[in-house]
Amino acid sequence: MSERNGALVHIERVNKTFRRGAEEIHILSQLNLEVPQGEFLALMGPSGSGKTTLLNLIGGLDRPTSGSVRIGGDSIDQMSNRRLAAWRARHIGLVFQFYNLLPVLTAERNVELPLLLTGLSSSQRRRHVEAALSVVGLTHRAKHYPRTLSGGEQQRTGIARAIVTDPTLLLCDEPTGDLDRKSGDEILALLQALNREHGKTIIMVTHDPHASARATRTVYLDKGRLSSEKPE
């Protein structure tokens, strides 16, 4: 899944523009980014700088106005919506700030959701779910509904759901943004372990320097452009 030069994520001259009435708002301008396989990249920047937009482009949840987005050699900006949905199911694990668990399903059924898009049998799916819940240390809470779980446990469930299909790339949007410091640290430690021990490539959007310190590299987004230096 990696490209010839070793970059898993290859973003080239990407522009993203939104229209608000007659006004055109430039979110990303001529943006270039490469993320090698196995990297844990923190993406920082002020509110409204386009961090989540960039993450959505990488995850195939949004399309660039111009430029190319290649993930592991797949030009995802060229894909139809249908192909893109199938590609996401295979290659992307998503972790959300507010967990985005389905309230009517138990933790294990939430984790099972992405597996429903694969050809696995129910016993195979059950084994994968058990493994994912074991990795995040939540086996004992498998039968619980989200409303009975703490914030940290809900986010662990979200991470288990993101890794259950063994995706190429984990995209985390403010994964600790809704958690207290202790729970946040546990989640960051978990992400770090997934990167170091399981070799997962992770891109994490965060406001928190404490969180970005866990990453192997941090880039800053400001006024639609990326830099490796924190802006003034």
Give dist(CA 156, CA 141) in Å, integer.
11
Give dist(CA 185, CA 87) in Å, integer.
31
The one segment of 32-40, 99-107, 208-216, 219-227 that binds other proteins by CB under 8 A? 99-107
81 lies in the site for other proteins, by CB under 8 A: yes
Residue that the structure tokens 């207290």 belong to = 180
Residues 159-188 that bind other proteins (CB under 8 A): 161
224 lies in the site for other proteins, by CB under 8 A: no
Closer to other proteins at the Cβ: 19 or 182? 19
86 lies in the site for other proteins, by CB under 8 A: yes
85 lies in the site for other proteins, by CB under 8 A: yes
Give dist(CA 203, CA 218) in Å, integer.
10
Instruction: Candidates 25, 102, 189, 213: give the one binding other proteins (CB under 8 A).
Output: 102
82 lies in the site for other proteins, by CB under 8 A: yes
Are 155 and 99 within 8 A, CB to CB?
Answer: yes
Q: CA torsion 177→182→187→193, rounded to 10°?
A: 140
1 lies in the site for other proteins, by CB under 8 A: no
The one segment of 43-51, 64-72, 100-108, 203-211 that binds other proteins by CB under 8 A? 100-108
Buried b (16+ CB within 10 A) or exposed e, 161-182: bbbbbebbbbbbbbbbbbbeee
Site of interaction with other proteins (CB under 8 A): 52-53, 56, 59, 61-62, 81-82, 85-86, 88-90, 94, 96, 98, 100, 102-105, 113-114, 116-119, 161
